[in-house]
């Protein structure tokens, strides 16, 4: 069939903003209870509510919202044992208990505490959890590891550190392992793994440091069925698997690959035990995930259709994962390793758009500043019915991911296909500082946030332009959160991009320090500069102090309930652009925090961003799209 030629950006697409909002059900937080699989599903149609489900159905009906606010990013919001589930309810922060076929009942007594990453201490009839205490009303809460009895009575087990994670009880119930770290470190900089004995009365004794320190990041401690403590450490420069055995740490599979990830959320898992001698694990090489069996020191790859494995749960009865690929949206898979088969209990998208409208990315690397190599996924514009005008090169959207210790993946995302199916090319950049390429690559951003990330995005856009894959006069940059700073800095300090979109992005680093929550309150010491140099470097790097260098149109999106990057960060920038009579649009969303969960918010922001680009490039706006107030933009 001959395709219709039309200007890139104006193509008619079956992937509407409504399809993006309603077509993907967020899936997260897998748990195995014997052979039974549990997970969380996000309900965009219910204001982003997260509910606990299993193959038997939903356990937490509305209005319950299974979500933790510990560290603001949460995760680890529920636990299941013997069919009984305990969960954190977002609205009040309290813990609830629900039995099969029953109604949830409150376990904790007040809402002054938040809970995450809890584990069932069956022998003592209690939960062990990371607790965040807000009762004192100070600037920062107090973090501990606590036990919660069946009567709701709480007992602090471990305190004194700024942060805790991953309390894990040994199979015999006699030992507790946990992670901790202190300001100014983030957990991917340096953590400590501790181990203590659990006494008959439930208290701890003989606490000792097992591994870790200021320069070693440890994640996911787990006990083998036989009671040996395992963990992931980056002491070699890569997050690899280790075993602690009678005071000695053994490397299980030295490899230039990542068997773990940064602790932004609680409850992450990329390995587990089928038996005492067999580990099933996921690892990342060159930005692509693989599933493998580790036995006797030998790593054997297990074939799957997935190029990204976000979570993995393993026990003697089952292997389950959350995976995706360029043509596979995130889905839950249960894998039978003996039979070599797998089933899919849940898909984030049940009905995919036609294959002819899906852009399949290619992984690229390219030269960047100071001799660095940067990595990215390039998505060419793709539509079954449309092609560019003769000789036309597509506009390019460069995406700087959030985190900034995050990672761009190739998993099918309707939000990306929304753009490519309309004639935009997309470059999703894994700039220096991204996860998945080892600690040395991750540390490229140390003291260089707003520099290295920006240079790698600029270099990527320039590389595709030089390759004849993008129109050098229609280069766009967009990003959210930390990627918002990348976007703003790219526009303020470089003249390559023609316009940008900033989602709840950072514009004033000093303001971010002043308003930040506890978890990230010292993060800028790693990303930017230590306190003695902060003032001058912050001013040099903060786009808000360089609005005189901005002369390109911008659109801003901001949740009014955002506690991570407060609205003031966007508002100050918008006011500065207004004062300079630059084209600017500002869209706020009530009831949204850091990241937009409501279906109507997703629709509103995507459509507004599309209209913004079309008007900036002087292209016709298709009927049915909303009007967008772009101040100072000539007709």
Do 626 and 608 meet the contact criterion of CB atoms below 8 Å apart? yes
pLDDT exceeds cutoff 80 at 527: yes
If pLDDT is split at 50, 70 and 90, which confidence band does 561 have? Answer: confident
pLDDT exceeds cutoff 70 at 632: yes
pLDDT exceeds cutoff 90 at 286: no
- Which residues make Cβ contacts (< 8 Å) with residue 169, sequence separation at least 6? 119, 121, 128, 175, 176, 198, 223
Percent of the chain with pLDDT over 70: 100
**Phi (first) and psi of residue 123, to 5 degrees:** -65, -20
> Residue 406's pLDDT is what?
87
> Residue 110's pLDDT is what?
74
> Residue 568's pLDDT is what?
87
Q: How far apart are CA 577 and CA 552, in angstroms?
A: 10
* Numbers of helices and strands, H then E, in the chain: 10, 38
pLDDT exceeds cutoff 90 at 193: yes
pLDDT digits (tens, 9 = 90+) for 207-233: 999 999 999 999 999 999 999 999 999
Average pLDDT over residues 56-82: 94
- Which residues make Cβ contacts (< 8 Å) with residue 411, sequence separation at least 6? 307, 308, 324, 325, 326, 328, 329, 330
pLDDT digits (tens, 9 = 90+) for 5-32: 999 999 999 999 998 887 678 899 999 9
pLDDT exceeds cutoff 80 at 2: yes
Average pLDDT over residues 468-489: 94
Average model confidence (pLDDT) for the chain? 93
| Cβ count within 10 A of residue 538 | 20
pLDDT exceeds cutoff 80 at 513: no
> Residue 332's pLDDT is what?
96
Q: Out of 5-9, 70-74, 77-81, 320-324, pick the least confident.
A: 70-74
pLDDT digits (tens, 9 = 90+) for 162-190: 999 999 999 999 999 999 999 999 999 99
Average pLDDT over residues 55-79: 93
If pLDDT is split at 50, 70 and 90, which confidence band does 508 have? Answer: confident
> Residue 597's pLDDT is what?
76
The alpha-helical segments, DSSP class H, found in 287-362 are: none
pLDDT exceeds cutoff 80 at 139: no
> Residue 83's pLDDT is what?
94
In a 3-state reduction of DSSP, which class is residue 123? helix
Structure-token pair, residue 301? 């790859």
pLDDT higher at 243 or 349: 243
User: How far from the centroid of its chain's Cα atoms is residue 435's Cα?
Assistant: 11
Average pLDDT over residues 382-408: 94
> Residue 408's pLDDT is what?
94
Average pLDDT over residues 350-365: 93
Average pLDDT over residues 246-254: 95
If pLDDT is split at 50, 70 and 90, which confidence band does 136 have? Answer: confident
pLDDT exceeds cutoff 70 at 467: yes
Average pLDDT over residues 553-578: 89
> Residue 23's pLDDT is what?
67
Average pLDDT over residues 466-480: 97
For 592, counting Cβ atoms within 10 Å of its Cβ (0-12 exposed, 13-18 middle, 19+ buried), the class is buried
Average pLDDT over residues 137-158: 92
| Cβ count within 10 A of residue 122 | 11
> Residue 547's pLDDT is what?
87
In a 3-state reduction of DSSP, which class is residue 187? coil
> Residue 28's pLDDT is what?
95
pLDDT exceeds cutoff 70 at 154: yes
pLDDT digits (tens, 9 = 90+) for 532-543: 898 899 999 999
């Amino acid at each position: 069939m001959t395709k219709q030629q039309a200007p890139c950006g104006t193509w008619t697409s079956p992937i509407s903003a409504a399809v993006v909002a309603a077509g993907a059900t967020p899936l997260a937080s897998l748990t195995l209870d014997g052979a039974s699989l549990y997970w969380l599903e996000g309900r965009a149609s219910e204001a982003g509510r997260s509910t606990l489900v299993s193959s038997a159905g939903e356990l937490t009906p509305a209005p319950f919202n299974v979500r933790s606010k510990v560290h603001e990013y949460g995760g680890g919001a529920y636990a299941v044992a013997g069919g009984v589930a305990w969960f954190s309810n977002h609205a009040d922060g309290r813990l609830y208990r629900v039995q099969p076929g029953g109604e949830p009942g409150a376990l904790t007594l007040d809402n002054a505490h938040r809970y995450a990453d809890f584990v069932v201490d069956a022998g003592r009839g209690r939960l062990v959890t990371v607790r965040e205490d807000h009762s004192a009303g100070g600037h920062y809460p107090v973090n501990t590891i606590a036990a919660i009895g069946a009567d709701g009575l709480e007992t602090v087990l471990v305190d004194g550190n700024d942060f805790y994670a991953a309390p894990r009880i040994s199979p015999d119930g006699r030992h507790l392992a946990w992670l901790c770290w202190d300001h100014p470190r983030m957990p991917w900089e340096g953590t400590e793994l501790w181990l203590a004995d659990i006494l008959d009365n439930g208290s701890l004794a003989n606490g000792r440091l097992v591994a870790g320190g200021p320069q070693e990041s440890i994640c996911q401690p787990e006990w083998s069925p036989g009671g040996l403590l395992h963990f992931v450490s980056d002491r070699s420069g890569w997050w690899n698997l280790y075993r602690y055995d009678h005071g000695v740490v053994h490397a299980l599979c030295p490899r230039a690959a990542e068997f773990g990830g940064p602790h932004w959320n609680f409850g992450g898992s990329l390995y587990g035990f089928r038996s005492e001698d067999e580990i099933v694990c996921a690892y990342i090489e060159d930005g692509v995930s693989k599933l493998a069996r580790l036995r006797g020191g030998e790593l054997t790859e297990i074939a799957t259709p997935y190029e990204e494995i976000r979570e993995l749960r393993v026990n003697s009865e089952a292997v389950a994962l959350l995976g995706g690929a360029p043509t596979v949206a995130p889905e839950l898979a249960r894998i039978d390793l003996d039979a070599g088969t797998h089933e899919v209990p849940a898909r984030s998208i049940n009905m995919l758009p036609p294959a002819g409208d899906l852009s399949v990315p290619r992984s690229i690397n390219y030269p960047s500043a100071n001799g660095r190599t940067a990595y990215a996924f390039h998505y060419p514009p793709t539509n079954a019915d449309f092609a560019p005008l003769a000789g036309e090169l597509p506009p390019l959207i460069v995406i700087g991911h959030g985190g900034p210790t995050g990672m761009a993946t190739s998993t099918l995302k309707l939000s990306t296909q929304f753009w490519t199916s309309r004639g935009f090319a997309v470059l999703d950049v894994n700039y220096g500082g991204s996860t998945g390429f080892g600690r040395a690559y991750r540390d490229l951003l140390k003291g260089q946030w707003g520099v290295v990330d920006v240079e790698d995005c600029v270099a990527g856009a320039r590389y595709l332009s030089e390759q004849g894959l993008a129109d050098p006069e229609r280069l766009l940059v967009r990003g959210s959160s930390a990627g918002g700073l990348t976007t703003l800095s790219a526009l303020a300090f470089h003249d390559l991009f023609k316009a940008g979109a900033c989602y709840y992005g950072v514009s004033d680093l000093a303001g971010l320090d002043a308003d930040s929550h506890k978890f990230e309150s010292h993060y800028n010491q790693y990303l930017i500069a230590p306190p003695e140099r902060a003032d001058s470097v912050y001013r040099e790097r903060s786009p808000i102090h360089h609005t005189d260098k901005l002369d390109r149109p911008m659109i801003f999106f901001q949740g009014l309930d955002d506690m991570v990057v407060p609205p003031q960060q966007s508002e100050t920038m918008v006011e500065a652009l207004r004062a300079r009579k630059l084209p600017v649009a500002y869209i706020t969303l009530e009831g949204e925090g850091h990241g937009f969960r409501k279906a109507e918010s997703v629709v509103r922001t995507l459509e507004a961003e599309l209209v913004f680009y079309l008007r900036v490039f002087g292209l016709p706006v298709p009927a049915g799209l909303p009007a967008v107030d772009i101040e100072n933009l000539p007709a």
